[in-house]
Amino acid sequence: MRETNFLIENNARHLWHPMAHPAEMHATPPRIINAGEGVEIVDIHGKKVLDAVGGLWNVNLGYSCEPVKKAIRDQLDDLPYYSTFRGTTNSPLIELSYELAEWFKEDGLSRSFFTSGGSDSVETCLRLARQYHKLNGQPERTKFVALKKGYHGTHFGGASVNGNSNFRRNYEPLLPGVFHLPAPYTYRNPFATTDGAEIARGIARLFEDEIAFQGADTIAALIMEPVLGAGGVIVPHETFMPLMREICDRHGILLIADEVITAFGRTGAWTGSRLWGVKPDLMSTAKAITNGYYPFGAVMISDKVAEAFETNRTAAGSIGHGYTYSGHPVGAAAALATLKETKRLDVAANAGARGEELMAGLQALKANHDLIGDVRGKGLMCALELVSDQAKKSPAAKDVVQKVQDAAYEAGVMVRTSGPNVILSPPLVITAEDVTRILSALDAGLSAAGGK
């Protein structure tokens, strides 16, 4: 391998990173991560830290999951690629769609469509939603409703339903006919309350108003994350998603659950929709479906949506959408092995138990650090929102948040920052000792950044 200075220099010169400014690379070079083992990663200097980011919400089983690695190696030997466009398919993929129908049975989802990642899955959901209504004789249902602070990837459709202007402004104009409702965000919301149920009712009222204003017959779908992830781990009140489901049903609007983060156990339930007792019409998944080892995703489709397509024998029911890598056999083999391990290790139960310990520890940190304004989480997706003034809730400065991250890293734990939030999404196989390690590194990080 080349020496460190060569790598840093050429990273800055030739490599543009997602969600980063290319001009920042000299002053603040990214850490070069060269190895992963268990729940730890190792940087180019040989420093080993616990990865409390879990890759990017996706390495749920850690970095040493041999059955998934072996499945990938074996599949590369058998069939490294073949297309699944009309006319051909492959065995691991058929087996995977069978397994996924079992996996998502309780969510009422029985058909799958495969993609290369979360943005592809979101795009697929948006397209299928529009086509569904055309098949049902309602071609004017083309609009989408989404939540502020929602994150739905970076394709143009996904960016259009995103609820964060950082991901929108530089790329406008986006898709027309997209409307946003407030996030179910207890700490900051337009309803001047901290009562989650009241916030849920307030958003429901705004949704009904928007439907009346736009005309229900123009709206294709509501897209939402059951727990908002990238927007700062916003956990809605338990009544929120059921309320949204009920309003969608009453107005013939499809509900798309974007479960790119929440599917496969992260919240402590196997899906975020199940956590709230809701059955979506379409579900986007990706990330943990292959434990992050292979770029892959699946859109899960309900019987209701599937029937509209399957009973229409004209060209209108044909799916004019798909990717070269839809149903990649290596991705399918990786997913099959991941699902097996995910189930065998019962990671949702561990996420629930370790998540409770982590949340209790984070609340204890809040009592000791003025920098923490809010603590949020469900299962093993948690966030600390940092403030410069607890009473005024003024967001902490960027360099303060960065300092927390840097000092936590020094103390042996990688955490992620997003705006004023420190985000935790460790592998779902962490132990109680790992939770203690995360908390003590955060304690050190918060102390280093000042405040009490």
Binding site for ligand PLP (CB under 6 A): 117-119, 122, 151-153, 225, 229-230, 258, 260-261, 286
Query: What CA–CA distance (Å, rounded) separates 19 from 367?
Result: 32
Query: What CA–CA distance (Å, rounded) separates 393 from 103?
Result: 42
- Give the shortest CB-161-to-ligand PLP separation in angstroms: 10
- Give the shortest CB-444-to-ligand PLP separation in angstroms: 28
Query: What CA–CA distance (Å, rounded) separates 107 from 170?
Result: 37
Closest by CA position to 198, among listed 213, 182, 222: 182
Residue 160 CA: distances (Å) to CA of 16, 147, 166, 223: 23, 11, 12, 11
Closer residue to ligand PLP in complex, CB, 62/157:
157
Residue 341 CA: distances (Å) to CA of 61, 269, 386: 8, 16, 36
Closer residue to ligand PLP in complex, CB, 154/312:
154
Closer residue to ligand PLP in complex, CB, 351/449:
351
Closer residue to ligand PLP in complex, CB, 119/186:
119
Cis-peptide, bond into residue 173, ω within 30° of zero: yes
Closest by CA position to 133, among listed 223, 254, 249: 254
Amino acid letter, 149: K
Closer residue to ligand PLP in complex, CB, 153/395:
153
Closer residue to ligand PLP in complex, CB, 130/152:
152
* Sign (positive or negative) of CA dihedral 63, 68, 69, 70: positive
Closer residue to ligand PLP in complex, CB, 372/417:
417
Backbone Cα Rg of the chain: 22
- Give the shortest CB-57-to-ligand PLP separation in angstroms: 6
- Give the shortest CB-195-to-ligand PLP separation in angstroms: 26
Query: What CA–CA distance (Å, rounded) separates 387 from 421?
Result: 9
Query: What CA–CA distance (Å, rounded) separates 100 from 116?
Result: 16
Residue 169 CA: distances (Å) to CA of 123, 160, 164, 172, 315: 19, 10, 9, 6, 37
- Give the shortest CB-154-to-ligand PLP separation in angstroms: 6
Closest by CA position to 277, among listed 267, 288, 287, 286: 267
For 73-229, strand residue ranges (E) read 109-115, 143-147, 178-181, 219-224
